[in-house]
Amino acid sequence: MCGATDDRLQLSEAGGETWSLYVAGDCVYDRPPTPSTIGESLADHVASNDVSILNLEAPIPADDSIPKAGPRKESHPDVPALLAETGFDTVTLANNHTMDHGLGGLSNTVDACAAAGLDTLGVGTDITDALTPQYRTVNGTEIAIVNACEREFGVATEREPGTAWIGHPDAPRVIERANDRADAVILIAHGGVEFVPLPPTQWQRRLRRLSDAGADLVVAHHPHVPQGWERHEGTPIFYSLGNFLFNHTARPKAEWGLSLEISFDGPTPASARLLLTEETDAGVDLLDDESRREERLAHLHRLSGIIADPDEYAAHWQEIATRIFNQRYSGWLRRAAGGNPVALVRQPRQHLTQDGLWDGDARQDELLTLLNVVRNSSHRSVMETALAVETGTVPDLRTPEVERRVRELLSWTEDQAVYDRPSLIERTANGLLDRFSDR
């Protein structure tokens, strides 16, 4: 058992340590790095483990691109060398930005990592290649590392290169085959919803299924903020490490992250040390303010306690999904549907023709945004949960106490004011009343 501010987790009954793993979260750095960009005390931890992995979130840019919604990010060409000099030996590339600069950016990134001595995984010439595990033997233990992400833009297919899609039907079989060959299977996953304190319940189901397929440890990232963890049938699942080095975000609440030092007894994860990091203008280093460190560890343990209770987790996710749907998704969907759902009711001809929909310069961006929010599993989970709760088609598990706790949890990840909005149903009803009151 662990206290509310413990930075060490006992993951199993195994008592020995035969090898160690360091895992960090998202890295996007587009400035020329310096030797001090990654602080010395943090670099000591990276270098002291047998295997050290980081998610390189953005490619080395090229004169190439793919159609996508959202920003395009890039890494400075010297970043792979910095990571290798710090002590990282592997970077994962299955994420939603690796293909931002197309095949040219992918090639630049893989080549720069190879030149720096970094192994890469999670990308390939097709989906089979992208899902192929990395195998290595560490102190007599053969390990397999698999990297995959949720579907956004740039995932590999049977005929197209790109990133490894975690929802592909072959993904569980890849884990099963890796489990047959290796002593330990580690899944590094990229998915979930950005800037929220808990993972979608469907993301939990996805990672649990891959755990059941044979993964001995699951570590995830993408939300840009740390989330909690659980043990599912003995397998540790860490739902988000948050950012490691990410100079693209202006959100102050995303400037601290979680890294893991995990000790293995042969094939078994035995214990984990929770290392909190913090970004400054100079770069990133260990968080050394003891009071803030204890406060943040208590927050992470609190999130893990919610995840461990299925009823509490379901109720909290309903409240989170409803709030962020109202704050983010309803705006996306309204813009993508022509900006005026009330007009669709008053002018039903728009259901039969695309005249008047998606006109103008923003058409492509709106269509790509709509494609992403309906195709991506975590985005869809938010919408399905919120709409089902607000229409009464599922039991509403929320209580005033859950609402209070969620407001407090969201204050760790977002400006609370953005969530203090009426519900979708209230806003739609008020809009209808306003428009028809004078008729």
Q: Are the C-beta atoms of 188 and 158 separated by less than 8 Å?
A: no
Q: Is the pLDDT of residue 145 over 50?
A: yes
pLDDT confidence bin for 339, thresholds 50/70/90: low
- List of residues 6+ apart from 169 with CB closer than 8 A: none
Q: Is the dihedral of CA 92, 97, 103, 106 positive or negative?
A: negative
The amino acid at residue 217 is L
pLDDT in tens, 296-320: 999 999 999 999 999 999 999 999 9
pLDDT in tens, 394-436: 999 999 999 999 999 999 997 654 445 444 444 444 443 444 3
What percentage of the chain has pLDDT greater than the value 70? 87
Q: Is the pLDDT of residue 207 over 80?
A: yes
Long-range contacts of 402-408 (CB under 8 A, 24+ apart): 402/312, 402/315, 402/316, 402/319, 403/319, 405/316, 406/316, 406/319, 406/320, 406/323
pLDDT in tens, 11-36: 998 877 899 999 999 999 999 999 99
Neighbours of 208 (CB within 10 A): 17
Cα 259 from Cα 285, distance rounded (Å): 11
- List of residues 6+ apart from 179 with CB closer than 8 A: 144, 185, 213, 214, 215
Q: Are the C-beta atoms of 164 and 94 separated by less than 8 Å?
A: yes
Pairing of strands 51-56, 19-28: parallel
Q: What is the pLDDT of residue 367?
A: 87
Q: Is the dihedral of CA 412, 417, 419, 420 positive or negative?
A: positive
Q: Which phi and psi angles does 170 have, rounded to 5°? A: -80, -15
- Host H or E run for residue 233: none
Pairing of strands 243-246, 256-265: unpaired
Choose between 50 and 334: higher pLDDT: 50
Q: What is the pLDDT of residue 40?
A: 96
Question: Of 219, 224, 261, which is closest to residue 236 (Cα–Cα)?
Answer: 219
Average pLDDT over residues 58-78: 94
- Host H or E run for residue 53: strand 51-56
Cα 17 from Cα 88, distance rounded (Å): 20
pLDDT confidence bin for 335, thresholds 50/70/90: low
Choose between 162 and 281: higher pLDDT: 162
Cα 106 from Cα 124, distance rounded (Å): 10
Q: What is the pLDDT of residue 251?
A: 73
Q: What is the pLDDT of residue 15?
A: 75
pLDDT confidence bin for 437, thresholds 50/70/90: very low
Average pLDDT over residues 58-76: 93
Q: Is the pLDDT of residue 439 over 50?
A: no
pLDDT in tens, 209-261: 999 999 999 999 999 999 999 999 999 999 999 999 998 666 778 999 999 99
Buried b (16+ CB within 10 A) or exposed e, 141-158: bebbbbbbbbbbbbbbee
pLDDT in tens, 146-190: 999 999 999 999 999 999 999 999 999 999 999 999 999 999 999
Cα 80 from Cα 57, distance rounded (Å): 12
Cα 282 from Cα 86, distance rounded (Å): 16
Average pLDDT over residues 36-49: 97
Q: What is the pLDDT of residue 169?
A: 97
Q: What is the pLDDT of residue 334?
A: 67
How far lies 239's CA from each of 92, 191, 235, 394, 409, in Å?
16, 9, 12, 26, 16
Q: Are the C-beta atoms of 272 and 8 separated by less than 8 Å?
A: yes
Domains of the chain, by residue range, sit at: 8-308, 312-438
Cα 258 from Cα 229, distance rounded (Å): 12
Q: What is the pLDDT of residue 139?
A: 96
- List of residues 6+ apart from 86 with CB closer than 8 A: 38, 43, 46, 47
Tokens of 400: 């005033």
Choose between 189 and 3: higher pLDDT: 189
Choose between 63 and 341: higher pLDDT: 63
pLDDT confidence bin for 344, thresholds 50/70/90: very low
User: If you search the block for the tokens 């072959």, which residue do you land on?
Assistant: 170
The CA-CA-CA angle for residues 254, 240, 383, to 5°, reads: 90
Tokens of 237: 């699942």
Q: Which phi and psi angles does 130 have, rounded to 5°? A: -65, -35
pLDDT in tens, 72-99: 999 999 999 999 999 999 999 999 999 9
SS3 of residue 166 by DSSP: coil
Q: Which CATH superfamily is domain 8-308 in?
A: Metallo-dependent phosphatases (3.60.21.10)
Q: What is the pLDDT of residue 250?
A: 63
- List of residues 6+ apart from 54 with CB closer than 8 A: 23, 24, 25, 27, 83, 88, 90, 91, 92, 244
